[in-house]
Structure 1
């Protein structure tokens, strides 16, 4: 809304309906519209008020517009008021000329174009307002100069008693006058305070900057205000607030500056204390929030660990009582295995987050077909979706054709449909440069999240597509793209969209959905389990691949959609260049340790180990007996020992066909054992095929095991099929 006062616009016409029409056109200008139905009435209106513009009808009885305009121009007050003639009767040059001759500024013919009239009147209103403002400023300036002269006479007497320091300088910044308070603040005599004394007192650390700032604004004739430190002769440090304004001559020329100085030392100390207090409060609040999140996480961790332990220990005790029938025994074993797998998943997530926090998570880059990755995950969660009666839909889009893979309730048990689905998915070339295991972990986490929060009878859809262009949310993380990820010449992305009809996400929690240790419901009584780490891991892994991930939800109870974008890999040559040479496509190694038990293992080749002698080295009695039993079930002859010393003694007596050794053995560990063996001659054990058992599931631990002399490694908890397959691989070699 404009703060300008309204101006008057005079509308003169002998027809009321014409006046109404003019008011309707000009009402939006927001000015005072004053009517006059005759020339005489118009002249009466001009007696007591001024008008920005007059709209004057030409044809009026008694006194026409031309006569009225002539009388208006005779008065000094209205001599220069703009007049716009309005007429519907004549467009002759003679008539127009007559209008201009009596002082009109414009001539409009009826019917009048509203926008033209409004535009012209608006221009005269603006001119009138600006003219008034100029007059007002001129009057105010004259008043100020008059007051300034009066104040100058009073200045010296008043400044002596002033509670603030007052000073005058010439145009070069040399002090020509200081009052007693100024001298007290600077601890100077009157003589010392004159000239450039004030600049010499500025603290050395700030002197150059303060002087530069003051002269910069002074040269422009502007006001200055600044806070800085000074040092007195007694080496006392003080904070001062200095303000100065230019003094103007009658000709508006800068003739010097007048300023004030205040001692604000105590104020600065109080402000610093206040800032310190605020920082301490902020730090305390952040610490309290961190502690609360930590406590919630630890409570959740305790809940998530104890819940499966309850099932494991409970069913184990029931099994020991030997009172269960065959059906109950099967249920007990299935429950124990499922809950143990859940605990292994929790541990893997915690280790991944630990590596993320320490910056130790690394990628094994290769050429990966995302269609293969997604298909493998779809296959692994198929049964879970079937059990919850959730409709699982997989859609693969292509620029050349669209392959839609839908698994509905009536098709879930159709192996032909599943085979066709997988072939369609694998046929589409959705290649990226990435770590296949980590990319599968991303998709599995999103799918697991969708299935967990979707109620029975709901729907989960996975869509694979190609997208052009870069969105705002990609640009937001562009600085975090690792140098190992190539930037595509054309901004084409592969997009994975996982949407569900589940619980949805509240608008309050949506910005924090990818934060680690954060859950929408932090209590241990929440409906869904988990540590709240899966989505945090997803975001980190996606961004490590140069991509981006976002979450969307209309609200609680309305489902959620997670969208991952990864840069498209155009050709194999890109991979070769990136990896430093030839490298085969890695599309089959799609089983990261944290979800390997969930992938269908029907493709594994297991052979009978009859006649094979295996030496097992494991200090933990339960694990040692478990590994021994697994190997014996497949026909192997097993010798099990608990230490490196016992293992070496056994090898001296009889060479085993395969060695299976734990890494974390007390006193001498598995690395020590393999080093000693590899230093032996082949005929006495130097080339025994060896498998490492390790509870340290980090990539560097697995690489260290292979580098030290083991040919295979199996992570704990040991999966029987994984162990037997590793033994089989060594035999085949």
Structure 2
């Protein structure tokens, strides 16, 4: 669209006659206010604005346009009958004009200028469309890759539990590590896609304990337990997204373990002495980072050895810190090694309820208080009966691998490919599930959340549910929000899935 703005109707008619063609739409406005209405409602390739207008002149209109996001980049060509006074022309350029036209207007000059801006706008729209298609493609690709990866992860974990031959176990361990790496890559691609789409990272704040986040990470690195020196000081509670903080700190700890010197330690310090902030430090020894790398460390695809990953980990770490209103920075030298520091605001943590608190202490290595084993075996509190799981997934490979794995874990499993089949299991086959496990994206339109709600109505009880999402952080948390439910991202490790199943069932039977 080309916008013509002039307080004289005859001038607008003349300009419109010069430009009239089938290549673009022309809109006219007799005042600055009318022009703003059009600009806010439509995509405008170029605005041709008369300078001398009552109430709001062209310069005032241009200032308003530059102050609004939607109109900030619309090219402005001023039309004037005045002299070519340099100071006045510079004023127009400072406000945001890209060109001037002097009355009487030459038709050929007018058309040639407008044609240039129309072509540029079309190219811009094509680029935006290509960018949107690329983002959608990456999101769909990430989701579709997670389904077969879920089958690989589940089958590998089952094989590791059954394999007796040491060489076979080493092969399966290699497959599992490769699967874990691929899962991290997919998650990073989806996170970056969401960030670049200006949707931001999905942050779900809740009362959280940074000490527990760090303890979980140290436990996950149990093969390197002798490397860790962990210190907790002060009150480390706050209101954060614990899953995202787990992702952030785990990435830093993994880098510190991988790039630290042989025989060196990884120091982790959580400092909660300040009333409004909690700080985390992750430090290792060895050679410092090159200065050239430090300058681009938090930029995508620039932060490290691309043979080990996509170079997105530290970029996403910064986005997680930013989303919490926090700060992440790094100090590095050959003498002291490398130290990453994260500062996180508590955000109203004082009002958040917590079950317990911790005093300051220093811990060498992972926890030895037995808490992990108790949490890892919640089924000990359940009755010794085979619990019934209704599993809904439209991918046959995922459905079969999860069914077999869960049966081997001691569950009775009924499967369905969609909502209609799940309803038939309940109505026709009298399946009474203790828990529903459903994929979120299903090919027949209904989402996993909708299917769970329908099944709950049919069963007339609030059956606990697990929603498996392949869309990762691209999927708004509000779209899977259900009472008495948990959302897990694909590929989900079997241990995490079974633990969550036991916890939800135990909670529902209290």
User: Are 1:609 and 1:636, in contact at CA under 8 Å, matched by a contact in 2?
Assistant: no
| Matched residue count | 363
Contact conserved, 1:367 with 1:587, CA < 8 A, in 2?
no
Secondary structure, aligned partner of 1:514: coil
Q: Is the 8 A contact 1:371 1:429 kept in 2?
A: no
User: Is contact 1:689-1:711 (8 Å) kept?
Assistant: yes
Q: Which residue of 2 aligns with 1:728?
A: 502
Secondary structure in 2 matching 1:441: helix
Q: What's the counterpart of residue 184 of structure 1?
A: none
Q: Is the 8 A contact 1:548 1:566 kept in 2?
A: yes
* TM-score normalised by length of structure 1: 0.42
The corresponding residue for 2:8 is none
Unaligned runs of 5+ in 1: 1-202, 209-228, 243-264, 266-275, 281-286, 399-427, 469-487, 577-581, 589-598
Q: Which has the larger radius of gyration?
A: 1
Match of 1:438 in 2: 244
Q: 1:326 deviation in Å?
A: 0.8
- Are residues 1:450 and 2:227 paired? no
2:442 aligned residue (662, 665, 682): 665
Tell me the equivalent position of 2:414: 639
Q: CA deviation at 1:629?
A: 0.9
| 1:140-539 mapped onto 2 (5 Å cutoff) | 238=84, 326-357=165-196, 358-384=198-224, 391-396=227-232, 398=233, 428-465=234-271, 493-520=277-304, 526=307, 529-539=308-318
CA positional deviation for 1:379: 3.0
Give CA deviations for 1:462-491 in whole Å, capped at 9, x if unaligned.
2334687xxxxxxxxxxxxxxxxxxx6xxx
Query: What is the CA–CA distance in structure 1 between the aligned matches of 2:437 and 2:277, rounded to whole Å?
Result: 45
Query: 1:514-572 CA deviation, whole Å, 9 max, x = no partner?
Result: 12232355xx5x5xx122222222223223333322112236x9732212223468xxx
1:689 positional shift: 4.8
Match of residue 4 from structure 2 = none
Q: Secondary structure of the residue that 1:565 maps to in structure 2?
A: strand
Q: What CA RMSD, in Å, does the superposition of the two structures yield over aligned residues?
A: 4.7
The verdict on how the C-alpha distance between 1:633 and 1:369 changes in structure 2, with shifts beyond 3 A counting, is closer
Q: Secondary structure at the match of 2:472?
A: coil
Shift of 1:671: 4.1
The 2-side partners of 1:687 and 1:495 are apart by 40
Say whether residues 1:548 and 2:327 are aligned partners: yes
Query: Which of 330, 338, 342 in structure 2 is aligned with 1:564?
Result: 342
How far 1:356 sits from its partner (Å)?
3.5
Query: Which of 667, 680, 699 is equivalent to 2:458?
Result: 680
Question: Cα gap change, 1:230/1:532 in structure 2, threshold over 3 Å: closer, same or farther?
Answer: closer
8 Å contact from structure 1 (residues 504, 559) kept in 2: yes
How do residues 63-212 of structure 1 correspond to structure 2 at under 5 angstroms?
A: none
* Alpha-carbon distance change, 465 to 336 in structure 1, aligned in 2, over 3 angstroms: same
Separation in structure 2 between the aligned mates of residue 687 and residue 547 of structure 1, nearest angstrom = 38
TM-score by length of 2: 0.58
Between the aligned partners of 1:445 and 1:704, the Cα distance in structure 2 is: 27
Indicate the SS of the match to 1:563. Answer: strand
Query: Do structure 1's residue 616 and structure 2's residue 452 form an aligned pair?
Result: no
Look up the match of 1:604.
376
Q: Is the 8 A contact 1:692 1:710 kept in 2?
A: no
SS at match of 1:512: coil
Q: In the TM superposition, what is the alpha-carbon distance from 1:666 to its structure 2 partner?
A: 1.4
